[in-house]
């Protein structure tokens, strides 16, 4: 795992508390993490993606300005972002929303509330897939 | 709201799902023990908050999340500010001596309400889509008394719980 390239991560959530929580949980994972960027909505997230190298995005769905699904639709349009790992973290666990996410090539769907080890396991899956 | 909700769900189902959502959020994300209580126990816990405040005024927060979709309404949570502060500290893994800015307390309490609302709606309408608005959190006036606070015409249901021996009330209102 030590020779794995550090992972740059983008956290998108309108709640500063949730962003802080995710930042803390990601930091606890025994993985080479590079930079952790944060955005309060989809539009700000797109600005970061335009200018920074990001390998994985954790996004909420219900957000003002641009919601998570709108963000994921924008990401799906761009060929240069096709390898970006997409993880939804949302209170909305409905089947319809999950189906919608699947159509947008979302890699993982995590429902809030989540236990910290769930996010750690998600990161381990990403790192493990990256190493192969 | 009652006429628009799934006909398969009885009022008991709705109460049970709200209780289950609260337990899931409280115990999984905030690591607190959630226990149902009746109006009398809620009043006692509210009274005990005064003792815990050691003579200071007990302040209460109200977090409200509006939702729309197969049916529309809001989930409204009332809790002592002291409990809200503790919940956010617990979520973020902070030590008791670390000071939380007021904005973070409000944001974290709003997120608590958001999670409860989302977890409840996922249980009530797994086959339906709902849009949740950004939570609104307000500090109630100093003289405000949660026990005397009336239910209002649009109340659909109300649960009172104890979180680690502190009071919390959850109301669902129709829009």
pLDDT at residue B113, rounded to an integer? 95
DSSP 8-state secondary structure symbol assigned to residue B93: T
> Who's near B153: CB < 8 A, 6+ residues apart?
none
Q: Which of A119, A64, A117 is nearest to A87 (CA)?
A: A119
Tell me the pLDDT of chain A averaged across its residues.
Answer: 89
What percent of chain A clears pLDDT 90, i.e. is strictly above it?
61
Q: Which two tokens stand for residue A114?
A: 């989540």
pLDDT at residue A102, rounded to an integer? 92
Q: What is the pLDDT of residues B89-109, one digit of tens each?
A: 988 888 877 889 999 999 999
Indicate the domain borders of chain A.
Answer: 7-127
Q: What is the pLDDT of residues A11-37, one digit of tens each?
A: 999 999 999 999 988 888 778 889 999
Minimum CA–CA partner of A93 in chain B: B122
CATH topology of domain A7-127: Rossmann fold (3.40.50)
Contacts of A15 in chain B (CB under 8 A): 107-108, 110-111, 114
Q: Looking at the complex, does the CB of residue A59 fall below 8 Å from at least one CB of chain B? A: no
Question: Is pLDDT at A2 greater than 60 in this prediction?
Answer: no
- Among A residues 15-34, those touching chain B with beta carbons less than 8 Å apart: 15-18, 20-21, 24
Pick B58 or A58 by higher pLDDT: A58
> Torsions phi, psi of A113, nearest 5?
-75, 150
Q: What is the largest CA-CA distance in chain B?
A: 50
> How do A108-111 and B166-174 pair as beta strands?
unpaired
HEC-encoded secondary structure of chain A = CCCCCCEEEEEECCCHHHHHHHHHHHHHCCCCEEEEEEECCHHHHHHHHHHCCCCEEEECCCCCCCCHHHHHHHHHHCHHHCCCEEEEEECCCCHHHHHHHHHCCCCEEEECCCCHHHHHHHHHHHHHHHHC
Q: Which of A79, A72, A47 is nearest to A58 (CA)?
A: A72
- Cross-chain CB nearest to B25 (options A21, A93, A113): A113
Q: How far is CA A80 from CA A76, A77, A123, in A?
A: 9, 9, 22
Does the beta-carbon distance from B114 to A93 stay under 8 Å? no
> Who's near A17: CB < 8 A, 6+ residues apart?
B88, B91, B92, B104, B107, B108, B111
**Range scoring the smallest mean pLDDT among A111-125, B19-33, B96-110:** A111-125
pLDDT at residue B7, rounded to an integer? 41
| Distance (Å, whole) CA A72 – CA A74 | 5
Question: Is pLDDT at A52 greater than 80 in this prediction?
Answer: yes
Q: Looking at the complex, does the CB of residue B111 fall below 8 Å from at least one CB of chain A? A: yes
Pick A90 or A126 by higher pLDDT: A90
Question: Is pLDDT at B165 greater than 80 in this prediction?
Answer: yes
Question: Is pLDDT at B125 greater than 80 in this prediction?
Answer: no
ipTM of the complex in this document:
0.84
Question: Is pLDDT at A132 greater than 70 in this prediction?
Answer: no
Predicted confidence band at B139 (pLDDT cuts at 50, 70, 90)?
very high
pLDDT at residue B88, rounded to an integer? 92
> For residue B133, what is the enclosing H or E element?
none
- Is residue A23 within 8 A of residue A38, CB to CB? The reply is yes
Predicted confidence band at B10 (pLDDT cuts at 50, 70, 90)?
low
CATH topology of domain B11-147+157-174: Chemotaxis protein chec (3.40.1550)
Question: Is pLDDT at B132 greater than 70 in this prediction?
Answer: yes
pLDDT at residue B175, rounded to an integer? 79
């Amino acid at each position: 795992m030590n020779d794995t390239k550090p992972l740059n991560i983008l956290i998108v959530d309108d709640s500063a508390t949730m962003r802080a929580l995710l930042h803390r949980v990601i930091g606890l994972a025994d993985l080479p993490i590079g930079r952790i960027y944060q955005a309060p909505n989809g539009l700000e997230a797109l600005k970061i993606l335009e200018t920074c190298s990001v390998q994985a995005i954790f996004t909420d769905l219900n957000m003002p300005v641009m919601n998570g699904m709108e963000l994921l639709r924008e990401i799906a349009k761009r060929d240069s972002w096709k390898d970006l790992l997409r993880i939804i973290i949302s209170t909305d666990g409905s089947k319809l929303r999950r189906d919608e996410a699947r159509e947008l090539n979302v890699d993982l769907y995590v429902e809030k509330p989540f236990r910290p080890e769930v996010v750690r396991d998600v990161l381990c899956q990403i790192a493990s897939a990256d190493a192969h | 709201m009652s006429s628009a909700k799934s006909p398969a769900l009885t009022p008991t189902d709705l109460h049970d799902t709200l209780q289950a959502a609260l337990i899931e959020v409280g115990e999984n994300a905030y690591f607190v023990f959630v226990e149902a209580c009746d109006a009398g126990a809620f009043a006692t816990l509210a009274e005990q908050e005064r003792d815990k405040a050691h003579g200071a005024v007990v302040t209460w927060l109200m977090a409200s999340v509006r939702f729309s979709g197969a049916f529309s309404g809001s989930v409204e949570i009332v809790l002592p500010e002291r409990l809200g502060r503790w919940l956010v500290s617990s979520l973020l893994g902070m030590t008791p001596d670390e000071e939380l800015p007021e904005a973070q307390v409000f944001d974290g309490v709003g997120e608590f309400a958001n999670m409860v609302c989302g977890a409840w709606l996922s249980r009530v309408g797994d086959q339906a889509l709902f849009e949740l608005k950004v939570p609104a959190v307000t500090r109630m006036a100093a003289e405000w008394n949660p026990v005397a606070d009336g239910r209002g015409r649009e109340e659909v249901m109300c649960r009172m719980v104890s979180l680690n021996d502190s009071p919390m009330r959850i109301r669902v209102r129709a829009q």
